[in-house]
Amino acid sequence: MEAVLGLLVMSAGVSHGLETSCDAREDGSQCYGALGGTVYLQLTDTMAYSHYSFYKGSTGAKTEMLKMKATLVTRDTPIKDRVHFFINNGTFRLNNTQRNDSGEYLLIKYDSEGKTTGTIGLQLFIEAPVSSPQLSSECLSHGEMKVSCSSEGDGPQYSWTLDGQTLNDTDAPPDNKTNTITLKKGLSGDLTCTVRNNINRNTVSRRISHCPGLIYVNCTLSNGTKISEWVITLCVESTTVATVTEAPTSKTSTGSGFNVFVYFQLAEVFLLLTICLGSYWFYKKKTCPQEQDDGE
């Protein structure tokens, strides 16, 4: 029996209470319903003036859920209060779906004499919808950025885009269908994670920038070699993009060199103060005896 994927139509809503519908008129259809929601199964065009029985379970001990022969009879089953059948369009509705609603279902058609004229089997899967995803990121030791996308739900599948472009093997590992990717150092832009399953899909986007401590160096060495790349600096707080166009020389700039310059300035100030104080005391000593003679 060849499986045929039924048409799945989803309406927007919260995690629980989603409505899904499936065209199950072909034998072997696979249908999906949201856990805690409502699923509509179109079994036939109409059941008016027809003879049908609808079972849960395809072989062995199957349970008859409803029967249509002149009048509609809903069997006394544990899900009786959660089901409704629309005779005019042959649609079966199941409310407040639960895990144990998953399984095989069978519709048997009869002629007026009660003989079987055909059967339609379908598989129903009840799954939890995926929740709104959350993004988290961390910088690695070599400047790369690890980004994780987390979501609750059954069978989530992830996909990633950066500035609207699907991330490929040059931007992320080959397993970028997972919920974690590693971005090369220096990458920035609008990162979007999309998570989906058979019930629904959700996306989350965030503007990301390169990890702190990275600067872009664009310089030409004395031998003519050009270097253009992101490098890691010791100042992890720095986020400035620097461009160097002059060829480097043998001079270096270090923290200790800066301190020597400061000390030299302080020494100059100290020398000037010493000269001023010396001049003052010399003038004071010279004028004090004259003032004493005038007093006598």
For position 86, which CATH number holds?
2.60.40.10
Last residue of a domain, one of 95, 127, 159: 127
Kindly report which listed range (41-45, 116-120, 216-220, 292-296) carries the lowest average pLDDT score: 292-296
Assess whether 118 and 141 both reside in one domain. Answer: no
Last residue of a domain, one of 75, 105, 127: 127
| Residue 185 near residue 213, CB atoms below 8 Å | no
Element (H, E) at 55: strand 51-56
- Indicate the number of domains in the chain: 3
pLDDT value of position 62: 85
The encoded tokens of residue 84 equal 């409704």
Assess whether 12 and 113 both reside in one domain. Answer: yes
- Tell me the mean pLDDT in the region 192-221: 80
Alpha carbons within 13 A on the beta-carbon side of 23: 7
Three-class secondary structure of residue 144 per DSSP: coil
The encoded tokens of residue 171 equal 């931007």
Q: How many CB atoms lie within 10 A of CB 213?
A: 17
Could you list the residue range(s) of the whole structural domain that residue 80 is in? 4-127
278 found inside a domain: no
Assess whether 230 and 142 both reside in one domain. Answer: no
pLDDT value of position 95: 95
Last residue of a domain, one of 106, 127, 148: 127
Confidence of residue 87 (pLDDT cuts 50, 70, 90): confident
| Residue 165 near residue 197, CB atoms below 8 Å | no
pTM for this one? 0.63
Ramachandran assignment for 290, one of left (phi > 0), alpha (psi -120 to 50 degrees), beta (any other)? alpha
Assess whether 204 and 216 both reside in one domain. Answer: no
111 found inside a domain: yes
pLDDT value of position 112: 81
| Residue 213 near residue 232, CB atoms below 8 Å | yes
The encoded tokens of residue 220 equal 């030409």
Assess whether 35 and 116 both reside in one domain. Answer: yes
Closest to 205 measured CA to CA, from 160, 168, 151: 160
| Residue 53 near residue 110, CB atoms below 8 Å | yes
User: Averaging pLDDT over each range in 42-46, 155-159, 237-241, which range is the top one?
Assistant: 155-159
Assess whether 13 and 122 both reside in one domain. Answer: yes
pLDDT value of position 46: 76
Element (H, E) at 256: helix 255-295
